[in-house]
């Protein structure tokens, strides 16, 4: 695809997905709102490398607009 990993955002709900995306240099948002997620999922995703965690997909557009914590907002250009 030729996309710069630093300009990508990945939404993941698994440890393996977070690990892979973080290793590739992508911003990772960990989702822990699925029925399959346990009480410890948020902490596990964050400990594995998720830049932030959230449990409500309705928040996703605002999270993407705000960007990665500690950086400027994402520029889709």
**pLDDT of residue 76 exceeding 90:** no
Over the chain, what is the mean pLDDT? 87
**pLDDT of residue 71 exceeding 60:** no
The DSSP line for 14-26 is SHHHHHHHHHTT-
Q: pLDDT tier at 69 (50, 70, 90 boundaries)?
A: low
Q: Are strands 52-54 and 27-31 parallel, antiparallel or unpaired?
A: parallel
pLDDT digits (tens, 9 = 90+) for 1-28: 788 898 889 999 999 999 999 999 999 9
Q: pLDDT tier at 65 (50, 70, 90 boundaries)?
A: confident
């Amino acid at each position: 695809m030729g996309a710069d990993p630093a300009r990508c955002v990945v939404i993941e709900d698994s440890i393996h997905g977070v690990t892979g995306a973080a290793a590739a240099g992508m911003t990772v948002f960990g989702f822990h709102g699925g029925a399959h997620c346990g009480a410890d999922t948020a902490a596990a995703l964050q400990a594995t490398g998720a830049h932030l965690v959230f449990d409500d997909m309705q928040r996703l557009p605002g999270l993407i607009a705000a960007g990665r914590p500690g950086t400027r907002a994402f520029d889709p250009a």
